[in-house]
Structure 1
Amino acid sequence: MNRARPGLDPELRTLLADMPLNSELNPELLAQLRQFPATPVATLLDGRAASHRDVTVTGPDGAPIPLSIFTPARTDPAAPAPCIYWIHGGGMVMGDRYSQIDIPLEWLDRFGAVVVTVDYRLAPEATGTTLVEDCYHGLLWTADHAADLGIDPARIIVAGASAGGGLAAGVTLMARDRATPAIAAQVLIYPMLDHRNTTTSSHQYAGEPGVWTREMNAFGWQSVLGDLAPDAVPDYLSPALATDLAGLPTTYIDAGTAEVFRDEDVAYATGIWAAGGQAELHVWAGGFHGFDALYPHARVSAAARRTRADWLARLLSQPGSAGSGKRSPGSVYPQHPDQRSA
């Protein structure tokens, strides 16, 4: 059945015409997609004044959690830098810590930010909250080693795209509830937030090939939910379920009008506003899922990336540079103990 829906931006539509697309994802296709090699680190650093090193963190269940750290060359190494803690996309079933890494590396260039990116375990091999716990413990390690990394612990920004955006939202909820570490802001780029897959936009982009369709979304969620009963899905995994969005740090959310995640992303921003929080929301006309990552030089993509960077510039230029604003009395998101005044 044909369903009325927003069309693609004309420039994006022309570019997308040359891309092979699918309507569904299955174990066989996933295995093929996983064979594509990661972007070589040397390519990421080519022409960039930055160094790179890898560390491995031990998770609470003893599993290794690899992190990559990109550190910019700085004129004043003694001055602590902001940190972008990056969580990659891939529907929770594919990708690695270098996926979409060009986005935060632009912020390394512009703001002198240290970029830490995490290789969380993927579904269906890992299920439930394993993925978000991996991301959280990588963040904990980053905050605990802020001095060694040259990071300002008051300027740690959690960011991610697609599945990484959903995991970033889950990590931020987890950090709020566990009262550590302090997060200055969260940047959620077309985040994957709702396992129910029932919004108007999810139905609009179903039944025909696309970058990420309702059917692909169902496969991704089924892979990570495993044997969880519908009423047992935690909001750390599916943040759209969260009934309390109070006390979150200032938030940036964007999406396209022509994608599955549009409505759940708008609803999440609305929930933050309803709880008295601060969120900036952009829904880009004609943008399909991942448009600015796949075609960064298209006009609407360049506008989306520039607008995000400008928001970060405002955030980082605020007095104190923490970016989290004033917390309301009784907030359940206190400062990290190391940041409290003596």
Structure 2
Amino acid sequence: MNEQGNSRGAVLEARNLVKEYRVGSAFGGGRTVFALSGVDLAVKPGETLAVVGESGCGKSTLARCLTGLHEPTSGHVLLDGADAQALLSSDAGRFRRAVQIVFQDPYASLNPRRTIGQSIGDGLRLHKLCARSERRARVGELLSRVGLSDDHIDRYPHELSGGQRQRVAIARALAVSPRLIVCDEPVSALDVSVQAQIINLLNDLQEQSGVAYVFISHNLALVRHISDRIAVMYLGQIVEIGDAAALGQTLVHPYSRALFSASPEIGRDRALARAKPLEGDVPSPLDPPSGCRFHTRCPFAQERCTTEMPSLRQVAGREVRCHRAEEMAGTQLAA
């Protein structure tokens, strides 16, 4: 496991990242969706940072902001300390080569009218990474790295299984030798046996190339197994981030405890057996609660929680966004 991340030596950082969307404004007026509200994180070379949380908490929006697919409303994404938006304006190729993304649905992310060889070769062509005469051989090498053969080069996405398509998507991301790949729910649409194959593949590729991952998933047992650090998101904010190996002993935020205890695999851990279950629904990002955004569902909320937003601060060896973090850390459930 790597050391707990900070901005020193990070390949990619998010600093006070905010993303808001205007909806229903075609005829005037409209409302604002507060998708991300001040997200800070840093990813070091060769590490896996997992991002977890309920649906609608902002995970996929974060993925798209980190990869430059969406421009943040405010705040910054930094690649080696350089602002991503500035790079995308002046040297887009540098950023696109360094940061790639693998989407949840490999069929939707592959052009059905282009062969596998064309889809993977596009990155090689656009970034001028090899001569045209060498491109087919290079695509074959990439397919071999992800466990596929040259026979797949001239096939189309519909001729492959879901697991094979996801391997192609990974090969396409690897084609430009990125330093970081954002994996947005990369195995959730696959059978369990295929999921294991893809995860093993990602681990092997990381060992071979040192690529870093931001791994977004609903599978909490999976991310606890594969990640170096885990960031827990709730309604557009990170509420806890720390070492994955310590989960079950140092979970502090009430939302983190309830979220992980709800997992069938993790909930059997004695350290989480008595965690308060989540009740109610996630509030709408159109109208997030004042103060701590979790206070409407938190069994430990106090008056201060309803009016004052807590900051993300170091408690018990991890960063926690909770007014009662020190008190919660002092009442850790025994393992």
Q: Is TM > 0.5 for Structure 1 vs Structure 2?
A: no
Give the TM-score taking structure 2 as reference length.
Answer: 0.29
Higher gyration radius (CA):
2
Give the TM-score taking structure 1 as reference length.
Answer: 0.29
In terms of fraction of residues, the more strand-rich structure is 2
